[in-house]
Structure 1
Amino acid sequence: MKHFGAEAGDEAVPWQAAAQRVTQALAETAVERDRRGGTPKAERDLLRDSGLLMLSVPRELGGLGANWRQTLDVVRGLARVDSSVAHLFAFHHLLLATVQLFGQPAQWRPWIEQTRAQHWFWGNALNPLDKSTRAQADGPDHVFSGRKSFCSGASDSDMLVASALDASDRLLIGVVPTRREGITVLDDWDNMGQRQTDSGSVLFEGVRVQANELLLDPGPLSTPFACLRPLLAQLILANIYLGLGEGALAQAKAFTLGQGRPWLFSDATAANEDPYVLAHYGDFWLALEGARSLLDSAAVAFDQAWLRGTSLDEPERGQVAIAVAAAKVASTRAGLEVAHRMFEVTGARATTAALRLDRYWRNLRVHTLHDPVDYKVRELGNWALNGRLPPPSFYS
């Protein structure tokens, strides 16, 4: 398995060891925490102490200077053992990217500096589909009120990126401390998968968002560069899906080699020599390898677009969107295929609740419903047949 963030010929990077330590610690408790659910407080603090919350931040801003492909490699590695904490970690970096894409350096640089100094963990309350939260103008400021759903990582966060609609239904996005007066993070996430992402609700009751906390210049999805934000979100999801698929394959392999038995009517003397078992593993590897290749290519394309900055044009953004959509579809299909069919190579004894091997499928099934993969396939078809690039949105 490739080391975190390392490419062929790379020297070891300082944060690889920290990523490995965190991953090992998560693996030791993942099964019990999946059973328990709730906020992974100790694991979030482990990430705070590891320095990895500054992974994607450039060195000149006090960060570790990883590019996005390297950062996503770490996300994928974490997801192999614990997709919930991988989700929280990845969304933290997505939110740091959000303020850089939608705001100005004078606005977001102090937030980045405080993230480093105070070990801030960022949480999400930006859900453009949720129109129940409204923003009322009060001089240069706005007051947010309403209940926001699917707020991954809001619990135990230090800062929130939150959205609301103003009187003209314009989307406003603000950055506020999680402990600001009027904000209540509700403990109402109890889904069958991604059980420790705290993706429940946040209640805003007259929360003042100051003018300098609103991301208005250039604002959400206002330029081709700003439109990279949803593409990064999609890349994050795809890497988590692939990580889950890889984790499921690793668990199935360990079970087959360690506890597998040939079927009664098999001519094989061991489970790992059975031709049907081998065929299944061949299918698993092929599906994951194809998704991995598409994901790595999409990450490289994204990094190139990120480096273009405000010079990025719409056709260039559209090409990245196609690469990301292809990777998203492939990782969704491959991950679900392996997580579902792994039991065909492990057998009935692998379904014991003590192993909780079903967590891979449960986590994938919950997370892959973030947005319908059918619409990604439609975008790809429109490109393949009509040469039309996906129009910018919060999902493409």
Structure 2
Amino acid sequence: MSTVLSAETLSAAPLSSATLWSGRHADSRELEHWSAVAQTVAAELAAGALERDNSGEDPLEALELLRTHGLAGLVVPAVYGGAGAHWETAFRVIRILARADASVAQILGYHYLNSSCLAFYGAGRDQSAWFRRIAEQDQLWSDALNPVDPDLELIADGAGYRLTGLKRFATGASATDVIISAAQASGGRHDGRIVIFAVERGREGIRFPGDWDHLGQRASASGSVRFDSVHVGEKDVVGFDEGTAFSTVVTPGVQLLFGNIYLAAAEGALEQARELTLARRNSWFLSGVQTYAEDPLVHRTYGELVARTQAVEALADKLNRRYDEVIGLGEAVTEADRARLEVEVAGLKVVSTEVALDVTSRVFEVTGASSTKRSVGLDLYWRNIRTHSLHDPVDYKKTEVGSYFLNGTVQPISLYT
């Protein structure tokens, strides 16, 4: 497998974006190896996906499966003990896993992006110890960064700070090892700065109300996290939100993750629907054929759904490679670079949302009434995509793309754009 940069290069310089990401693409060997690993994990995840969805409990055993197969350290540089894989590879792994269990795949995708905030927000800092812990301990990182909740309070207390407040939709926080968050410091050495920090899940004062009870993504551990006077020391500081173009490239990465998960919902639904259709032993009495699998109207429906899904796949593959190119620029990323990437990914968000919703709903037309049984679980794909696609309104993604196309207008940078 290829690595992003050689160990000698990484060891010779302080950590920066350039030591993590070179802008080069994954080679076929790397992609094939990790795709095979992901396929193995996906097969095991699929066996328990419906049970995890029904229980709604934190997917602790499933996350152990990710660790066992080396997926926790996938994008950690090789010199720190990780696999040193590319983002194209990471997004492909997520897509394969999401076909089997979108909840677990979402947690892993967030882990890759949250742990990489060590570089996005900590450029120039020595982050080697953080990365080594991720690789050596197979750590998984989550976040408490929901921007629509009131800000957390980070108030100076001696040499450190005390963190207080509530963050909803903290995906994976109750099930992973480390939670990354941010708050504007009040007092102390970082007064007035937006501090990015990471704390272990079990730290005193961190509580999980267990309030995630939604239609889909039920095993994503996406409930709230409450911080009650949690100590945040200097050793917990990852970096600072300075609003640089490079640091904000993490947000298009999150949106790209969503696009791949939505695509996976369509792919997974089609895979299961195909099995169900082939297993149907009869046909509609007016069709003139022996089985539903021979019915031209069934062929037409599948043809439309498959073709549209393939188009989304082509766009996702292109942008997965593009992400490696942009973040490989490191601190040299310009506002224009960032804007183009944002708008391109917004386009994927639009089509992946609409195609996935359509596919996961219409597959029932070719699988029949028996496929609506709860024990079949075909509805899981629709429930997941319907729930997660409301994360941020897709109509605003359309306006992002349209305003840029017409006027070159770029939306204000946020954790959604």
> The TM-score by the shorter chain falls in which range?
over 0.9
Q: Which residue of 1 aligns with 2:230?
A: 207
Q: Which residue among 185, 188, 200 is the counterpart of 2:211?
A: 188
Q: How does 1:43-58 map to 2 (within 5 A)?
A: 43-58=62-77
SS at match of 2:288: coil
- Please say if residues 80 and 243 of structure 1, whose CA atoms lie closer than 8 Å, have aligned partners that are also in contact: yes
SS, match of residue 196 in structure 2:
strand
1:327 & 1:254 partners in 2: Cα distance? 28
Instruction: Kindly indicate whether residue 95 of structure 2 is the aligned counterpart of residue 72 of structure 1.
Output: no
Distance, in Å, in 2 between the alignment partners of 1:332 and 1:243 is 11
Runs of 5+ consecutive residues of structure 2 not aligned to the other structure: 1-24
Q: Does 1:87 align with 2:106?
A: yes
Q: Is the 8 A contact 1:256 1:272 kept in 2?
A: yes
Q: CA deviation at 1:86?
A: 0.5
Shift of 1:267: 2.5
SS of aligned partner of 1:227: helix
Residue in structure 2 matching 1:273, options 290, 294, 297: 294
Residues 26 and 85, structure 2, Cα contact 8 Å, conserved in 1: no
Compute the displacement of 1:109 (Å).
Answer: 2.0
Task: Identify the match of residue 296 of structure 1 among 317, 332, 354.
Answer: 317
- Please list, as runs of the form range in 1=range in 2, the aligned pairs for 1:152-231 lying within 5 A after superposition: 152-166=171-185, 171-216=194-239, 219-220=240-241, 222-231=243-252
Q: Counterpart amino acid of 1:227?
A: T
Which of 371, 374, 388 in structure 2 is aligned with 1:350?
A: 371
User: Match of 2:398?
Assistant: 377
What one-letter code is carried by the residue in structure 2 that aligns with 1:130? D
Secondary structure of 1:392's match?
coil
**How much does 1:170 deviate?**
6.4
Contact 2:76 2:135 in 1 (8 A): no
Aligned-pair CA distance for 1:92: 0.8
- Deviation of the 1:390 alpha carbon: 3.7
Give how far 1:111 is off.
1.0
1:135 partner amino acid: L
C-alpha change, 1:212 and 1:152, in structure 2 (3 Å) is same
Please state whether the residue corresponding to 2:247 is helix, strand or coil. Answer: coil
Matches within 5 A, 1:1-396: 10=29, 14-104=33-123, 106-139=125-158, 141-166=160-185, 171-216=194-239, 219-220=240-241, 222-259=243-280, 261-396=282-417
Q: Report the TM-score, using the length of structure 1 for normalisation.
A: 0.93
Q: CA deviation at 1:107?
A: 4.4
- Paired with 1:307 and 1:322, the residues of 2 have a C-alpha distance of 18
The farther-off stretch of 102-111 and 314-323 is: 102-111
Q: CA deviation at 1:102?
A: 0.7
Output the CA distance in 1 between the equivalents of 2:401 and 2:201.
39
* Percent identity between the two aligned chains: 38
Q: Which amino acid aligns with 1:248?
A: A
| Greater alpha carbon shift after TM alignment, 180-189 vs 12-21 | 12-21
Aligned residues: 389
Pairwise CA distance, 1:211:
3.0
1:131–1:165: 8 Å Cα contact kept in structure 2? no
CA distance in 2: counterparts of 1:296 and 1:171, whole angstroms = 34
* Pair 1:275–1:79, CA change in 2 (3 A): same
Q: Give the counterpart letter for 1:149 in structure 2.
A: R
> CA 1:355–1:213 in structure 2 vs 1: closer, same or farther (change >3 Å)?
same
- Classify 1:294/1:260 alpha carbon distance in 2 versus 1 (closer, same or farther; 3 Å): farther
Query: What secondary structure is seen at the aligned counterpart in 2 of 1:123?
Result: strand
* Cα distance between partner residues in 1 of 2:373 and 2:244: 51
| Cα distance in 1, alignment partners of residues 242 and 220 from structure 2 | 26
Of stretches 158-167 and 179-188 in structure 1, the one that deviates more from structure 2 is 158-167
Q: Deviations over 1:271-309 (max 9, x none)?
A: 122222112111111221111111111112111011111
- Residue 200 of structure 1 deviates from its aligned partner by 0.3
Report deviation, 1:121.
Answer: 1.5
Structure 2 length normalisation: TM-score? 0.88
Q: Any idea what SS the aligned residue of 2:72 has?
A: helix
Farther-moved stretch of structure 1 (278-287 vs 233-242)? 278-287
Counterpart residue number, 2:11: none
* Alignment partners' CA distance in 2, 1:128 and 1:390: 16
The CA distance in 2 between the partners of 1:318 and 1:265, in whole Å, is 54
